[in-house]
């Protein structure tokens, strides 16, 4: 089972400088945050899907399809009760659903899914080492960049350990398929104990490994990985910046909003 999101492909997105990818994904997040109209958000989501196809990241989209679908569904169900609009559709006591709140809820679901999609594109095309190097080249202190790198490395490690623990318990006769959703979820709670012990042990071993190698984050260091900004990087940043400014201009002109809020 592949628990890492990085996909080793030879695409133009993979060849971009890590600084371009970091700034680019932040610009994509900004574009996603601009609109709260479902049609505009659907256009942004479609653009991210096309960008994911160009970066050959769609296999990770498929892996996360249930999470993406649940984000849209739960947001559509819950947000209408927290946002108010001038055109009521249904009310019961203090609960009220309006046409604007329902459209806003759909847009928020698409926004959350778009956030995940942008992150998936970034993680599908950027290795952990490239991400760390990009943060440092952008001026982030090395200890902070190293903490980000370690956190990203530990997430798939713990996910793999959790999957191994579940499979080991299933081979010993643990039934995780019977019962309702709450009963099945309750069966996974005791499995958190060995996972917690593994996390503590792994963290302790990592600390001892760093100490034994004389790790000092304040010392100057050389780099084997040394990517350089090229014409494609500047073009990509320019295009994303123009798209972000255009989206911001449209929002300030009153387009792409259902309710006057983010």
Q: Where are the domains of the chain?
A: 1-126+230-262, 141-229
* C-alpha to C-alpha distance for 21 and 14, rounded to whole angstroms: 9
DSSP conformation class of 90: E
Q: Does the pTM exceed 0.85?
A: no
Q: CA 227 → CA 14, 15, 42, 72, 115, distances in Å?
A: 12, 9, 35, 38, 27
12: Cβ–Cβ under 8 A, 6 or more apart, which residues? 54, 232
Q: How far apart are CA 149 and CA 47, in angstroms?
A: 29
Nearest in space to 108 (alpha carbons), one of 188, 42, 165: 42
Residue in 114, 112, 121 with CA at minimum distance from that of residue 75: 112
Residues 229, 74 contacting (CB under 8 angstroms): no
Structure tokens at 87: 């055109």
Q: Answer whether 74's CB lies under 8 Å from 41's CB.
A: no
Residue 33: count of CB within 10 angstroms of its CB = 16
Query: Which residues of the chain are modeled with pLDDT < 50?
Result: 1
Sequence-separated (6 or more) residues with CB below 8 Å from residue 84: 96, 98, 101
| Residue 138 · residue 22 · CB < 8 Å | yes
Quote the distance between the C-alpha of residue 52 and its chain's center.
13
Q: Which residue's structure tokens are 């960049």?
A: 145
Q: Residues 250, 252, 249, CA angle at the centre, nearest 5°?
A: 40
Q: What is the pLDDT of residue 3?
A: 54
What is the structure's pLDDT at 140?
A: 85
Tokens of 73: 């569904």
Residue with tokens 């990592």: 206
Instruction: State how far the Cα of 214 lies from the Cα of 217, in Å rounded to an integer.
Output: 10
**What pLDDT score was predicted for residue 1?**
43
CB 79 within 8 A of CB 100: no
- Residue 54: predicted pLDDT: 94
Distance CA 244, CA 49 (A): 17
In 3D space, the residue among 18, 7, 17, 11 whose CA is nearest the CA of residue 149 turns out to be: 18
Residues 182, 113, 130, 242: what is their CA dihedral angle, to the nearest 10 degrees? -170
């Amino acid at each position: 089972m592949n628990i890492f999101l990085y996909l080793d492909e030879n695409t133009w997105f993979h060849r971009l400088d890590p600084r371009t990818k970091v700034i680019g994904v932040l610009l994509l997040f900004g574009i996603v945050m601009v609109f709260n109209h479902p049609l505009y958000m659907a256009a942004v989501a479609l653009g991210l899907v096309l960008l994911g196809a160009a970066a050959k990241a769609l296999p990770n989209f498929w892996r996360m399809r249930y999470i993406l679908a649940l984000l849209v569904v739960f947001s559509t169900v819950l947000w209408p009760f927290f946002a108010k609009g001038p055109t009521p559709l249904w009310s019961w006591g203090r609960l009220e659903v309006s046409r604007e709140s329902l459209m806003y809820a759909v847009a928020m679901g698409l926004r959350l899914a778009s956030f995940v999609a942008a992150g998936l594109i970034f993680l599908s095309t950027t290795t952990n080492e490239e991400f760390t190097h990009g943060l440092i080249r952008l001026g982030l202190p090395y200890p902070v960049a190293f903490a980000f790198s370690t956190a990203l490395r530990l997430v798939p490690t713990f996910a793999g350990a959790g999957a191994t623990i579940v499979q080991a318990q299933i081979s010993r006769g643990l039934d995780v398929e019977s019962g309702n959703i709450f009963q099945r979820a309750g069966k996974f709670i005791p499995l958190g104990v060995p996972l917690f012990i593994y996390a503590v042990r792994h963290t302790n071993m990592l600390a001892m490994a760093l100490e034994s190698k004389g790790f000092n984050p304040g010392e100057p260091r050389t780099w084997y990985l040394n990517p350089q900004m090229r014409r494609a990087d500047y073009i990509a940043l320019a295009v994303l910046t123009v798209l972000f400014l255009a989206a911001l201009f449209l929002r300030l002109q009153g387009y792409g909003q259902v309710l006057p809020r983010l």
